[in-house]
Amino acid sequence: MTHLTRRALMKHSALTLSLTTLGISTMTTTATAADATKNPFTLVYAGAITKNEPGKVNIHPVGYKLNGLDIVANIYTPANYDPQQQYPAVVVAHPNGGVKEQVAGLYAQLLAEQGFITITADAAYQGGSAGLPRSTDKPQFRVEDIHGMADFISRFAGVDASRLGLLGICAGGGYSLTAAKTDKRFKSVATISMFNSGRVRRDGLAGSQVATIQQRLKQATDARIQEVAGGEVLYAGDADLSDAQIAALPFALYRQGYEYYWRTHAHPGSTFKYTMSSLMDLMRWDATDQISLIDQPLLMIAGSAADTLYMTEDAFAKATGAKNKELFKIDGATHIETYWVPKYVDAAMGKLTPFYTKTL
């Protein structure tokens, strides 16, 4: 457990921060907060499975190799699962810095409740999966993670590999768009609060860092030089902010993101940081490159009040090859609120369930 995540869990356990101050919905705060150490599967979302019971949705921790690395994943099976039957399946890709026990697990469990077998895995180099340096966050690895989940779930007992769907959340949404361009095992793809990691690492959120692109590329290049020489691995995004500093952040995404990842839904495997050298790969990548290759049904969901909405709208407009596509805005929701606020999660599921039922 890292210093950052230990402190996150400690702060979470004594949560006193006013969510109203941060502009976050105050709905059932104590009910949604969770302690990873108190769940046998270290799940931190509200309503998470605490034990496997006959006749109910069950969770199956699994492991597999991907390009020589050990990957950890959770598979959720529907109530009364029969491995002799055939079920549609959905691969769920987690956000930047997230792990399978947070929002990806929530949606995986909810989809399993609707009759789908689902899988969500920690990205290579992150969470409980192997890979060094830790917290490497390169698009090519994140996309390969999605292909790897498809590889594994397609061979899982009871899965009808001809009915495989894909769901990406936040950065997982951007990487899912890239995976679906060429991986035609995915018969349909959906995103929630899609985050174009390359665009934001390059330009900053809402273009706020355009002026420093070359400076940050130089930092990333120098960090790689230092890494390959055996020196210290440098990180970006690794900060231990006070409640007052969080409240002062300029974007709701970051204010609410720190609240979610460091307070109410903290997990020891989850961290905001990524290797500085990863920026060399991130800043030359864009989730919308060649997006017209997606010809599968496409559903993109985002909050109407999200400061990341422009990324979903941009990708949706460019996805001209999709056989049928829909952009659904959850009225009043911000980016992070689609991760956990019950009414917004219900709104997302109200679109996802019929979408996958129809397309799978």
**190 by DSSP, 3-state: which?**
strand
Distances (CA, A) of 358 to 5, 19, 95, 299: 40, 38, 26, 12
| φ and ψ at residue 38, rounded to 5 degrees | -100, 0
- Contact yes or no for 339/325 (Cβ under 8 A): no
pLDDT at 360 > cutoff 80: yes
- Tens of pLDDT, residues 321-355: 998 999 999 999 999 999 999 999 999 999 999 99
Q: How far apart are CA 225 and CA 218, in angstroms?
A: 11
| φ and ψ at residue 9, rounded to 5 degrees | -65, -35
What value does the mean pLDDT of the chain take? 90
Residue type, 134: R
Q: What is the 3-state secondary structure (H, E, C) of 71-131?
A: EEEEEEECCCCCCCCCEEEEEEECCCCCCCCCHHHHHHHHHHHCCCEEEEECCCCCCCCCC
pLDDT at 20 > cutoff 80: no
**199 by DSSP, 3-state: which?**
helix
Hey, what are 134's tokens? Answer: 């830790």
Residue 11, Cβ density class (10 Å: 0-12 exposed, 13-18 middle, ≥19 buried): middle
Residue in the block written with tokens 């590889």:
151
Distances (CA, A) of 328 to 37, 263, 310, 317: 36, 29, 13, 13
Report the predicted TM-score, pTM, of the whole model to 2 decimal places: 0.90
- Confidence (pLDDT) at 35: 87
Domain ranges (residues) in the chain:
34-218+273-359
Over residues 107-128, mean pLDDT? 98
- Tens of pLDDT, residues 235-275: 998 667 888 888 888 899 999 999 999 889 999 999 889 99
Q: How far apart are CA 234 and CA 247, in angstroms?
A: 26
The dihedral over CA atoms of 320, 326, 327, 330, expressed in degrees to the nearest 10, equals -170
Over residues 136-153, mean pLDDT? 98
325-330 and 298-303 strand pairing: parallel
Q: How far apart are CA 140 and CA 198, in angstroms?
A: 11
Q: How far apart are CA 322 and CA 22, in angstroms?
A: 38
Closest by Cα among 147, 205, 197 to 171? 197
**What architecture is the 34-218+273-359 domain classified under in CATH?**
3-Layer(aba) Sandwich (3.40)
Residue in the block written with tokens 């300029």:
250
Hey, what are 28's tokens? Answer: 């059932």
Residue type, 168: G
- Confidence (pLDDT) at 33: 58
Residue type, 25: S
- Tens of pLDDT, residues 174-197: 999 999 999 999 999 999 999 999
pLDDT at 26 > cutoff 90: no
Widest CA span of the chain, in angstroms? Answer: 58
Residue in the block written with tokens 């995540």:
5
DSSP string, 132-162: SSTT---HHHHHHHHHHHHHHHHTSTTEEEE
pLDDT at 28 > cutoff 90: no
pLDDT at 34 > cutoff 90: no
Q: How far apart are CA 165 and CA 108, in angstroms?
A: 12
DSSP 304: T
Count of helices and strands (H, E) across the chain? 12, 10
